[in-house]
C-alpha cells in the first residue's frame, strides 16, 4: 500500500472560517448555474417538436427474429422502452446501463434499424477506433440481407474513404455511420439525422459533450454505458433523463473467476496455456512502463509458441491503436499492457 498523491495539493480550510465560507459560496453558485443550464436544456428537449418514428414493421420483426441468441428479460424490456421513446413526438434521451457482454449493442442495432426504415440517418459515436471497427463489423453482419448502408469513420480511413463517407452522409446514401468524435466535427453534414447512439459517453471530453447537449434538443439520443458517471445517474434518478438497466447476464454467460496469490511463473504459464488451448487470448497487466518490455520477454521465454505484443499509454497514439487492433484481429495471443 502506497500513499496516493495527486497533481495538486488541496488546501484545507477551517470549517466556519472566511476561506471556507467563500469556497462554499463559489461551489453553490457553480451548482446553481449547472442545474439551471440542465433544466433549460431538458425543458427545451421536452417542448421541442421531435420526430415520432413509425411502429414496428415486418422488416423490424425479421431483423429481431434473426438474432442468434435468446434475449434476457431485461434486454426485452429495454428494447421495448427504447422503441416506445422513439415513437413519441419529442426527442428521446435514454441511458442504457449494463455490464460488458450484456447485450447493449443489439439494442443499438435494433434502434438504428427502426430509424433507418423511416428514412432517417443514424450516427453511432464511440470513444476509440477499435470500437469503430468492432461496431462496424457487428452492424454490417446484423444488417445482411437488408438495404442498409453502413460506413465507418476514423483515423484508419484513407482520405478518399473519408471524402466518400462525408459525401454519402450529405446526400443520404449512407444510412448508418460509426465513428469517433470525428462525427462531431463541423464539416460533417447529414441529410436527415434522426438518431445518435453514444457508446461509453463518460469517455468523451467536455467539448464533445457540449456538442452532444445541443443535438439532444433536436434528435433522438440513445446513450450506452457499463459505468455511467454520477451526474448521469443523478439525472436519471431525478427523471431528467430516462434510464434502462440490463442487470441479467445472457444464459450462456459464465461467472468471472478471480484468483489471488503470490507471483508464480508455473501458475502463470499453466493459465496461459489453458487459455491458448481453447483458442483464446490473454491480457497480461503489468504496472510499470519502464519494465514492460522485460515482462514481455519473460513471457516469450515462458511460452515460446505464443505471439506477444506490448501496449501502454506512452506509445505513439497511432502505434498503440495499431497494436490493439492487431490483437483484436487475433494477430497476437498475449497483450502485455498497462491498465
Domains in the chain (CATH in brackets) are 58-246 (3.40.50.300), 265-337 (3.40.50.300)
Residue 216 backbone dihedrals phi, psi, to 5 degrees:
-60, -25
Q: Quote the crossing angle between the two packed helices 104-117 and 129-142, to the nearest 10°.
A: 60
The DSSP output letter for 11 is: P
* CA–CA separation, 175 and 318 (whole Å): 28
Measured CA to CA, the distance from residue 45 to residue 49 in angstroms comes to 8
Q: Which of 42-56, 130-144, 324-338 has the lowest mean pLDDT?
A: 42-56
pLDDT classification of 90: cutoffs 50, 70, 90? confident
- pLDDT tens digits along 93-125: 899 998 888 899 999 999 999 999 999 999 999
Identity of the highest mean pLDDT range in 68-77, 180-189, 233-242: 68-77
CA nearest 221: which of 111, 140, 116? 111
Listed in sequence order, the residues at least 6 apart from 2 whose beta carbon sits closer than 8 Å to its beta carbon are: none
| pLDDT number for residue 241 | 74
* Residue 2 pLDDT exceeds 70: no
Q: For residues 125-149, give the mean pLDDT.
A: 94
The grid cell for 8 is 495538486
* pLDDT attached to residue 37: 74
Give CA–CA dist 167/163, Å, rounded: 6
Give 145's pLDDT tier (boundaries 50, 70, 90): very high
Give the pLDDT score at 45.
66
> What is the CA 31 to chain-centroid distance, rounded?
27
* pTM listed for this prediction: 0.78
pLDDT, one tens digit per residue, over 14-64 is: 888 888 899 899 999 988 887 787 777 777 766 777 899 999 999 999 999
| Distance separating alpha carbons of residues 199 and 106, to the nearest angstrom | 12
How far lies 108's CA from each of 48, 84, 90, 222, 275, in Å? 23, 14, 19, 8, 31
Average pLDDT, the chain: 88
Give the alpha-carbon dihedral of 159, 161, 162, 163, to 10 degrees.
90
Query: Does the pLDDT value for residue 88 go beyond 70?
Result: yes
Cα→Cα distances 333→12, 237, 273, Å = 49, 43, 11
pLDDT at position 257 over 80: yes
Of 225, 201, 226, 203, the C-alpha closest to 213 is 201
- In this prediction, residue 294 has a pLDDT band, given cuts at 50, 70 and 90, of very high
Q: What is the pLDDT of residue 248?
A: 84
Q: What is the mean pLDDT of residues 308-318?
A: 91
Q: What DSSP state is assigned to residue 99?
A: -
Task: Please state, in angstroms and rounded to a whole number, the distance separating the CA atoms of residues 110 and 49.
Answer: 23
DSSP, residue by residue, 204-269: S-HHHHHHHHHHTTTSEEEEEESS--HHHHHHHHTTSSEEEEE-SPPTTPPPPP-------HHHHH
The answer on pLDDT for 240 being more than 70 is no
Average pLDDT over residues 288-306: 94
Checking if the pLDDT of 223 tops 70, the result is yes
Amino acid at each position: 500500500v502506497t500513499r496516493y498523491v495527486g497533481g495538486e495539493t488541496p488546501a484545507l480550510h477551517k470549517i466556519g472560517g472566511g476561506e471556507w465560507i467563500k469556497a462554499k459560496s463559489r461551489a453553490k453558485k457553480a451548482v446553481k448555474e449547472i442545474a439551471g443550464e440542465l433544466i433549460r436544456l431538458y425543458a427545451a428537449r421536452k417542448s421541442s417538436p421531435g420526430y415520432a418514428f413509425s411502429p414496428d414493421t415486418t422488416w423490424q420483426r425479421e431483423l429481431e427474429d434473426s438474432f442468434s441468441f435468446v434475449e434476457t428479460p431485461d434486454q426485452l424490456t429495454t428494447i421495448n422502452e427504447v422503441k416506445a421513446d422513439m415513437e413519441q413526438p419529442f426527442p428521446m434521451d435514454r441511458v442504457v446501463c449494463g455490464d460488458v457482454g450484456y447485450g447493449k449493442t443489439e439494442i443499438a442495432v435494433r434502434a438504428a434499424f427502426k430509424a433507418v426504415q423511416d428514412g432517417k440517418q443514424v450516427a453511432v459515436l464511440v470513444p476509440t477506433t477499435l470500437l469503430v471497427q468492432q461496431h462496424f463489423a457487428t452492424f454490417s453482419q446484423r444488417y445482411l440481407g437488408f438495404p442498409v448502408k453502413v460506413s465507418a469513420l476514423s483515423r484508419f480511413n484513407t482520405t478518399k474513404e473519408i471524402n466518400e463517407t462525408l459525401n454519402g452522409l450529405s446526400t443520404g446514401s449512407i444510412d448508418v455511420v460509426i465513428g469517433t468524435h470525428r462525427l462531431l466535427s463541423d464539416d460533417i453534414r447529414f441529410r436527415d439525422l434522426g438518431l445518435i447512439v453514444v457508446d461509453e459517453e463518460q469517455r468523451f471530453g467536455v467539448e464533445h459533450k457540449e456538442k452532444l447537449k445541443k443535438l439532444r434538443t433536436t434528435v433522438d439520443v440513445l446513450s450506452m454505458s457499463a459505468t455511467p458517471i454520477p451526474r448521469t445517474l443523478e439525472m436519471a434518478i431525478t427523471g431528467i433523463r430516462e434510464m434502462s438497466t440490463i442487470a441479467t447476464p445472457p444464459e450462456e454467460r459464465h461467472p468471472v473467476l478471480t484468483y489471488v496469490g503470490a507471483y508464480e511463473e508455473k501458475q502463470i504459464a499453466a493459465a496461459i496455456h489453458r487459455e491458448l488451448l481453447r483458442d483464446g487470448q490473454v491480457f497480461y497487466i503489468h504496472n510499470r512502463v519502464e519494465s514492460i518490455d522485460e515482462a514481455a520477454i519473460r513471457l516469450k521465454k515462458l511460452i515460446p509458441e505464443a505471439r506477444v505484443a506490448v501496449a501502454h499509454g506512452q506509445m505513439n497514439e497511432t502505434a498503440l491503436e495499431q497494436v490493439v487492433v492487431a490483437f483484436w484481429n487475433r494477430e497476437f495471443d498475449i497483450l502485455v499492457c498497462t491498465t
